[in-house]
Amino acid sequence: MEFRQLEAFVNAVKYKSFSKAADASFLTQPTISAHINNLENEMGTTLVNRTGREITLTKQGELFYPYAIDMLHTRSQALATVQAQCEAMDGVLDVYASSIPGQYYLPRLIGEFHAKCPKIRFYVEQSDSKTVIEDVMSQKGEIGLTGYKMHNSLVYEPVFMDELVLIVPDTEKYSRWKKGSTVSFRDFEHETFILREEGSGTKQEMEKAEIHGVPVFKNVDVIARMNSTEAIKQAVAGGLGISILSRMAAGEKEGTHRIKYFKIDGLEKKRTFYMVYSKNIRLSPIAEAFRDLVIDYRDRNWQQDIGRFM
């Protein structure tokens, strides 16, 4: 039994696909298949079902999977203990992120982590907050970045803050309001809105938000729901409607003069984004090193983050 066979098996289960496992492992699909076939031959049993659109575990595979993860983690921990240096770590870090941290926060972290651990490669998957949490819960990934909390079997480390803002097309219709200024929601409540999809942390926070103690966003006229922040900004710029987005996302495109954002008078809702990982399963040395870097980055930037909302 070889570690590369275990890695191929674990990745195939994580991604439910030989081709996605190959991408995540930086190998070819035939190599992944060969490793798993050799592992199954050595164990004298079939570990994965290959029928259907997605790979699933057999009964024997379900029994073996936790042991495979444990063996890989033990190997990584042993190497890290002996080498004791981030520069010597070698492997792939899987990170699962929702839209806002995935687009506007994670790239900075990966760049800083790569500078310290140059041999590490990265596999990043972006989805909504609910899916990120489910992926970490199911051990598809060790580290996630998400916009809200659910399930108390995970650790939620707050890592940065943001706020909800109103975005509109930068057209004559909205020219009387200066970009970045504070506006009354009553001037916009009868507009059509473009919102995020079910499972989005932005949508969850928006529905809980109140203006002067009154929930107002649940009853807006929704013309479209989209699962991409970038698509929403493009749709707003094109005149389809207006939207509520994270300030971090809204401000990123503001310089193009196609959209602009406003703060909403009476909306006190600030968003906290979290790094999530399992309470009950020890992180691999690579994931542990990344977690420590994220916390250090948070501690270095937290006061500046808070200052943006003062």
Q: Which domains does the chain have, with CATH numbers?
A: 1-83 (1.10.10.10), 85-160+271-309 (3.40.190.10), 163-268 (3.40.190.10)
Residues 6+ apart with CB under 8 A from 137: 151, 153, 154, 278
Collapsed DSSP state (helix, strand, coil) of residue 310: coil
Q: Which of 196, 188, 190 is nearest to 250 (CA)?
A: 196
Band of pLDDT at residue 138, cut at 50, 70 and 90? confident
Show the CA angle centred on residue 139, arms to residues 135 and 142, nearest 5°: 85
pTM above 0.75, yes or no: no
Band of pLDDT at residue 269, cut at 50, 70 and 90? low
- What is the pLDDT averaged over residues 276-297? 89
Whether residue 276 contacts residue 180, with contact meaning beta carbons closer than 8 Å, is answered with no
Residue 74 to residue 213: CA distance in whole angstroms? 51
- What is the pLDDT averaged over residues 5-20? 87
Whether residue 25 contacts residue 35, with contact meaning beta carbons closer than 8 Å, is answered with no
For the segment 234-255, what is each residue's pLDDT rounded down to a tens digit?
A: 999 999 999 998 888 887 655 5
105 φ, ψ (degrees, to nearest 5): -125, -50
Band of pLDDT at residue 202, cut at 50, 70 and 90? confident
For the segment 17-58, what is each residue's pLDDT rounded down to a tens digit?
A: 888 888 877 788 888 889 999 999 998 999 999 887 888 899
For the segment 204-232, what is each residue's pLDDT rounded down to a tens digit?
A: 777 777 888 788 787 889 999 998 888 99
